[in-house]
Structure 1
């Protein structure tokens, strides 16, 4: 017995009200239901077909991501868009075959499926690397090259960056860099949190008016509030111009935690030349050239508690964002966001400081996939309770 896709009533297939679409017959209990279908459901079926050509997403994914964690709003969007979904016992339920068209998932107000929803608004996405031979930064060394260009051209008078402590190797120390040498010393990533806002305030108190600020999403968000909040320091008292350069960040770990894990493998931080997190691995390069690759899970207990609830992989409030995800090894993914960020980045390219090309669709997709993993943390209630 067929199901009326509009009112969900079970009816006889001898009904005089039916419509054929896409090689399938749809039956209705009344002319009103048939009219609604002809006006609305054809467009929904067309949408399903378009989505199915892009990605196979079933009701099971909606159930896993939204229904089981208990964040379904019961708005009925999924049931309205699919004749085989109904609301029973306070939750969406599949009552027929799932075609994995994805339409229910894409209508849900709790899912995040757009580029802007995942990584914020941006003008262009690039794969880039430094064109300056002496620069040896993380991935492509693009942040360092951009800072050097801005300093050389007088666009900034200082940069707030993070360097390594001389007394405690690899411990992050925020500094105000005013020279080429100081910028070069800050190249490379440190996976412990740096309190760069103190250095920013120090730069402002020193009379710096044009400052480049390098930080992860949480630090960038703090600067944004200082600029825009009615009680923000930069808004109320200090009129310094700040160029926000955001770093992709999935997690940070305590300095003592990193030190402890490496020590368990007989590695001292004094002997570490570089660190890199890639594809679930913590890559350690020693000063003698040897490499030690550890599972990132070994650092879990030392992961910053705030990172468990952060949903911003790409520093969405920055002028330009930089990260190693998406681009090939040795290159940096760059998202130009503001007009100022776009202009300065492209000037650095035109003046020979940076080599760049547009990111391919596949490369951008890798960024979006990791960003989606970061975003859904806010919905993972079980994880929150356990931690």
Structure 2
């Protein structure tokens, strides 16, 4: 497969059609195909062969236990935290960039692969190798778009670096774990970003135009656990829109916005990182900047203890019961509903906020929805791939929906033998 080399700052601005031209149907543009490690693409790509459970044993010492680990990944501890002195330019309080900068300050690493904003944009990610704490801190802020971070490994190898920190998404981390033996590193710290439903920069701009009255002035936005999208603007004011009010049909539906790879991903919580830092189960309101941190292994404990003196720790919260709603969601996947009229949407939004899951229970709900939706998508679009790209923990996590799934879809939730899937696709 021939790839045309393009500068990273150009790649990040491309549409999906331009970006994935000539590539496999399942591609998240993690960066492996654009660099010297391209020959290892098939051995490292999570969408060719998902080795998540094998890598859990290798890097964490065991696989996921029943319970919350099926959704959140292997972990030794979960902390609710924020920086005592927040970085106001960060999406939250700046935990990730502060930690990466500290690794450089202490001489624990020689470089950090991270992302900054591409020139002339606020949201388009530009992967780069930061060599100073100042460079890392200046990269603060969310860039929720596809980013070929692993292409920067060429620069790491050319510079002969032996101690590295990597900040990235689940698909990138899976590939990095596979490539790690080839890199000749003495030390590698992996800081994970939770990620779901990523998209190209042009499609993100389309979404913001649908969601906001002033898309060009948004500086931060997030899907929060009160079932609203919170959008903070340049002048400091916050705009919100209910999930149910988003006109996804104007974007061509989820399949018209998100790449096939993101709709075939089963690692929302970036389970192969040493330390994952996100927001999903952290308490509201968002202007308090709480996040949660998953310490996954010994190296993750080292990272947490390094940043801990700079953190304020909070308490986990949870409420409600997601299970009835998740089982109803299975039916919606089978028979998608049209966007309801405004009075109905107002009632649904009120019901979600007053009766819906909260805190950690909200996080469980969101992750289960993504696992269900993506399993349905893979079975619909790529049935022969299910054996290779859907990890076993997905079926265990969703087992309580097995009866309603079988009733709605006329087939078991459990994995289907490979030969049966082949006959189905044929």
* Shorter-chain TM-score range: 0.5 to 0.7
- Taking a change above 3 Å as real, the CA distance of residues 342 and 135 of structure 1, as seen in their structure-2 partners, is farther
Q: Quick check: 2:81–2:291 contact (8 Å CA) kept in 1?
A: yes
Q: Which residue of 2 aligns with 1:12?
A: none
Q: Which residue of 2 aligns with 1:184?
A: 137
**Which of the numbers 329, 333, 351 marks the counterpart of 2:292?**
333
1:348 pairs with 2:307: yes
- Taking a change above 3 Å as real, the CA distance of residues 381 and 223 of structure 1, as seen in their structure-2 partners, is closer
More strand by share: 1
Q: Quick check: 1:283–1:293 contact (8 Å CA) kept in 2?
A: yes
Per-residue deviation, residues 254-280 of structure 1 (Å, max 9, x unmatched) = 2101223434666454x3322223245
Which blocks of at least 5 consecutive residues in structure 1 are unaligned? 1-111, 228-234
**Which of the numbers 222, 228, 236 marks the counterpart of 1:289?**
236
Secondary structure of 1:128's partner? strand
Q: Quick check: 1:127–1:334 contact (8 Å CA) kept in 2?
A: yes
**Which of the numbers 370, 373, 376 marks the counterpart of 2:366?**
370
TM-score relative to the length of structure 1: 0.62
Paired with 1:211 and 1:266, the residues of 2 have a C-alpha distance of 42
Secondary structure of 1:312's partner? coil
1:276 pairs with 2:272: no
1:321 pairs with 2:276: yes
Q: Quick check: 1:146–1:354 contact (8 Å CA) kept in 2?
A: no
- Taking a change above 3 Å as real, the CA distance of residues 134 and 372 of structure 1, as seen in their structure-2 partners, is closer
Q: Which residue of 2 aligns with 1:251?
A: 197
Secondary structure of 2:299's partner? helix
More helix by share: 2
Paired with 2:100 and 2:85, the residues of 1 have a C-alpha distance of 12
Larger Rg: 1
In the comparison of the two structures, how many residue pairs are matched? 266
1:174 pairs with 2:170: no
Secondary structure of 1:245's partner? strand
- Higher mean displacement: 374-383 or 332-341: 374-383
**Which of the numbers 260, 267, 270 marks the counterpart of 1:305?**
260
Q: Structure 2 matches for 1:219-238, cutoff 5 A? A: 219-227=172-180, 235-236=181-182, 238=184
Q: CA RMSD in A?
A: 2.8
- Taking a change above 3 Å as real, the CA distance of residues 380 and 261 of structure 1, as seen in their structure-2 partners, is closer
Per-residue deviation, residues 279-308 of structure 1 (Å, max 9, x unmatched) = 454433221223343445535332222111
Which blocks of at least 5 consecutive residues in structure 2 are unaligned? 1-64, 320-358, 383-426
Q: Which residue of 2 aligns with 1:54?
A: none
